[in-house]
Chain A
Amino acid sequence: MTPVMQTTTDVALAATDERNWVIWSLLKTGQVLLFVLTLALLVAALVLADRKIWAAVQMRRGPNVVGAFGLLQTMADALKFFFKEIVIPAGSDKFLFILAPIIGLVMAFAAWAVVPVAPGWVISDINIGVLYVLALSSLGVYGIIIGGWASNSKYPFMGALRSAAQMVSYEVSIGFIILTVIFLSGSMNLTTIVDSQGPGIFNWNMFLLNPFGDYGWRILLIAPIMFYMGVLFFISALAETNRPPFDLPEAESELVAGYQVEYSSTPFLMFFFAEYVNIMLLSAMMTILFLGGWHAPINVSLPFGLQVPPFFWFFLKTAFIFFMFAMVKAIVPRYRYDQLMRLGWKVFLPTALVAVALVSTFVVAANNFGWNA
């Protein structure tokens, strides 16, 4: 064997504990399939929930014809998309035109590989999980850029350019916001970040109001900063997923439907799907980073010694964040493009930078003066 292979095989052996790699691959494939199927079903539910919440805010009924209470509406829509003809514009770059929605969807699902939804319920518990999620969410923009360019049409191209600028801008502030959480937990592993917060709502990074924790009363010094970081993360997540009020890439009144104009049938469905999977991912990240992951907010005791499954809390919190996403869509009017850029670069980035400096100072001081005894 060549030297290169020697080193790589050593790593592989360390990683798989001498397990048979065939069985290991099958096991992981099963886990991946389970995650993908669950996410796909959840997307169907979320699209309906989104429309129902939106309708309720506007005092409408929302979809209520297909199935009981319109429960099967999303399925009907999906079927409709599947059976439509795929129209590829004559002047388009055909290969990239088809590739773009695939890239978008794959990147959206791939990021879920490191998300722990309950203790041990994670496909790959790598020690730089946060970085992995950031890296893959920054790749999601390619689906949009390529789709917009390959359409060879003006509106999609404008939408793609806007989207690229928007996502790259807000990624920077999201990175700094996440840094503050990493400083507090001392790890980039998502499971460790959740465990460092622990049960009890006042131990979560967004509401650090428990004066009897590791840092004592001094935690109250950074509590307002971390609350602000949580709010900032939520708003940046809206921008990162192209959700209203930052849905400029597909602003109907200016760009028809932005990068999706030329897409029809299944490719369009894939873009749509990727968008919702990304929204779920950022809701889950918000839950993990700021809302204590699967930990219960208060001590809940059930009769007969039963326990609330940790996954339930995770799901509840993620669903709550998604509810906030839907409410924002219903309530807030769309930003203008220059306002969006101003908000990202002139408000979020400087304040997040200051917060990073303050939180890191706090952590270093705590270590030096023994505050975290």
Chain B
Amino acid sequence: MLIAITFYLMAFTAVAAAFMVVASRNPVHSVMYLILTFFSAAGLFILMGAEFIALLLVMVYVGAVAVLFLFVVMMLDVDFVELKQGFLQYIGIGATVALILLAEMIMVGAVYFTGESKTVVPTDPNTTNLEAFGQVLYTDYAGAFEAAGLILLVALIGAVVLTLRERKGVRTQNAAKQMSRTREDGVELIDIEPGQGLG
């Protein structure tokens, strides 16, 4: 009973929030609704018994990715009038993508409701989520997993290479140099003759 109530609450929130992501006028509000969607999805994962993936979703997407989204969106100065001018230009591509997505969703739903029911709960009740994930990621598919990690590393280095630029004439601080300063080479006491100045 409690589970049913929670499920419908979470599912309704997820769908409603997802709708509001595209419907709300303020981009910051959109990101907030996106966070709510992630959160509800995490709740649904917990209901299915996949608590590890639920918390990973919260940690990675809500705790890090959405923060960066929020960062970017808050800094943007969005001009809505300008934004709406190109609307007709992109409507063809947008409609195509939306139609493909809709078709895919209908197919997935059809397969789900006509075929046999599939549980997400681990078949062996004695293994925890963590062990199941470790088994799949680091034993069964270790090679593919490491390849994915390597691709991410390449992307990471690519991002650094693209944004790293040396600028000339910028004064930067050398922490080690600052730390190794002593009183002897930092302070110089000078007796100034009255009426003479430093010269």
Query: A11-B48, A135-B58 known; A188 and B130 CB under 8 Å?
Result: yes
Q: For residues 119 through 173 of chain B, which have their beta carbon under 8 Å from a beta carbon of chain A?
A: 119-121, 125, 128-130, 173
- Is B3 interfacial (CB 8 A cutoff)? yes
Q: How far is the CA of A161 from the CA of B59 in the complex (A)?
A: 19
Q: Is the CB of B62 within 8 A of A138?
A: yes
Instruction: Say whether chain B's binding surface is mostly helix, strand, loop, or mixed.
Output: helix
Interface contact A138-B121, CB-CB below 8 Å: no
Contact: B67 with A11, CB < 8 Å? no
A131 touches B52 (CB 8 A): yes
State whether A9 touches B63 (Cβ < 8 A).
no
Contact with B along A124-157 (1 / 0, CB 8 A): 0011100110111011011001100100000001
Against A, the Cβ 8 Å flags (1 = close, 0 = not) of B50-68 are: 0110011011001110010
Please name all residues of chain A whose beta carbon is closer than 8 Å to the beta carbon of B70 when the two chains form the complex.
145, 149, 164
In the complex, are the beta carbons of A7 and B48 less than 8 A apart?
Answer: yes
Given the known inter-chain contacts A4-B7, A8-B47, please indicate yes or no for A146 contacting B32, CB distance below 8 A.
Answer: yes
Interface check B198, CB cutoff 8 A: no
B185 to chain A, nearest CB (A): 21
* Docked complex Cα distance between A242 and B130 (Å): 32
Most buried by A among B4, B35, B59: B59
CB-based contact A10/B59 at 8 Å: no
Chain A residues, Cβ within 8 Å of B55: 128, 131-132, 135
CB of A93, distance to nearest CB on chain B (Å): 8
- How long is the Cα–Cα vector from A164 to B118 in the complex, in angstroms? 40
**Are A21 and B74 also in contact (CB < 8 A) when A131-B52, A168-B64, A168-B67 are?**
no
Contact A5 B63 (CB under 8 A): no
Q: Assess A128 versus B129: contact at CB under 8 Å? Given A7-B119, A11-B49.
A: yes
- Would you give the 0/1 interface string for A1-21, flagging 1 where the beta carbon is closer than 8 Å to chain B? 001111111111010000001
Q: Indicate whether A96 reaches chain B with its CB closer than 8 angstroms.
A: yes
| B52:A134 contact, CB within 8 angstroms | no
B180 CB–A CB distance under 8 Å:
no
| Assembled-state Cα–Cα distance A349/B119 (Å) | 39
Residue-wise, chain A 157-188 has the 8 Å CB interface mask toward B (1 for contact) of 10001001000100100000000000000001
- Taken together as a complex, chains A and B put the C-alpha atoms of A135 and B45 apart, in Å, by 15
Query: Is A85 an interface position by the 8 A CB rule?
Result: no
Please indicate which of the listed interface residues B67, B118, B129, B173 has the most CB atoms of chain A within 10 Å of its own CB: B67
- B118 to nearest A CB, angstroms? 8
Contacts of B26 in A (CB 8 A): 93
A139 touches B62 (CB 8 A): yes
**B1 interfacial contact with A, CB 8 Å:** yes
Residues A128 and B130 in contact in the complex (CB < 8 Å), given A11-B121, A171-B63: yes
B residues within 8 A CB of A128? Answer: 51-52, 55, 129-130
Whether, in the assembled complex, A299 has its beta carbon less than 8 Å from a beta carbon of chain B, the answer is no
Say if the beta carbon of B189 comes within 8 Å of chain A.
no
Q: Are B7 and A25 in contact (CB under 8 A)?
A: no
The chain A residue sitting closest to B35, CB to CB, is A142
* Residues B32 and A9 in contact, CB atoms below 8 Å apart: no
B40 CB, nearest partner CB in chain A, Å: 14
Question: Could you tell me the distance between the alpha carbons of A136 and B42 in the complex, rounded to whole angstroms?
Answer: 12
User: Shortest distance in angstroms between A184's beta carbon and chain B's nearest beta carbon?
Assistant: 16
Contact with B along A94-118 (1 / 0, CB 8 A): 0010000000000000000000000
Instruction: Give the 4 A-B residue pairs with the shortest CB-CB distance, closest first.
Output: A138-B63, A3-B117, A12-B3, A135-B58
Sampled A-B contacts (17; CB under 8 Å): A3-B112, A5-B4, A8-B7, A8-B47, A11-B49, A11-B121, A12-B2, A14-B125, A21-B2, A93-B26, A128-B52, A131-B55, A135-B63, A138-B63, A145-B74, A168-B67, A171-B64
